Every structure is written in structure tokens, then in C-alpha cells.
Amino acid sequence: MKPAIHPEYHPVVFQDANTGTAFLTRSTARSDRTIAWSDGNTYPLIVADVTSESHPFWTGTARTLDVAGRVEKFERKYGRRRP
């Protein structure tokens, strides 16, 4: 990598705004907020609206709304295509 053209890659704590779950990882994101981690160090804190802890797909609470009737709705709107 060329020096002085890439952002600083450093440890950061991401916290889920809904569940409060936090995890330490590395990122180029910056924040004025900090948090004391269990290892005794202080890291920048990024609060995320959604993480794998609260996303419906990963928690198993995802719902499929209108599965049946999509083809029929399309055919009503645009007509049935004849070969």
C-alpha cells in the first residue's frame, strides 16, 4: 500500500442501538464517543441502528408478507403473455 493515502485502520467498538450488544472489531470509522472495554482499554464507540443481533433475518423473526398472488397480480396489471 502507498503510505499516507489510506485512512487509519484501528480498533473500534460497535454497539447495537436496540439490544445494547457491543463487539470489538477494526474499522476506519471515527467517533467522538468512547467506551471502556473489558480488556481495560478505551476505544471509539459507534452506535449502529441494526446489527446481526437485532436484524430480523439473523434473529429468525423475518416475515414474508405477500408471497401468494404475485404472478396473478402481475397478470392482472399487464395481461397474460402468450407464446
Question: Grid coordinates 439473523 are at which residue?
Answer: 58
- pLDDT for 39 equals 95
Q: Which pLDDT band holds residue 83 (cuts at 50, 70, 90)?
A: low
Please give the mean pLDDT across all residues of the chain.
86
- pLDDT-above-90 percentage for the chain: 45
pTM reported for the whole predicted model: 0.66
Measure Cα distances from 68 to 11, 18, 65, 73 in Å. 46, 32, 9, 9
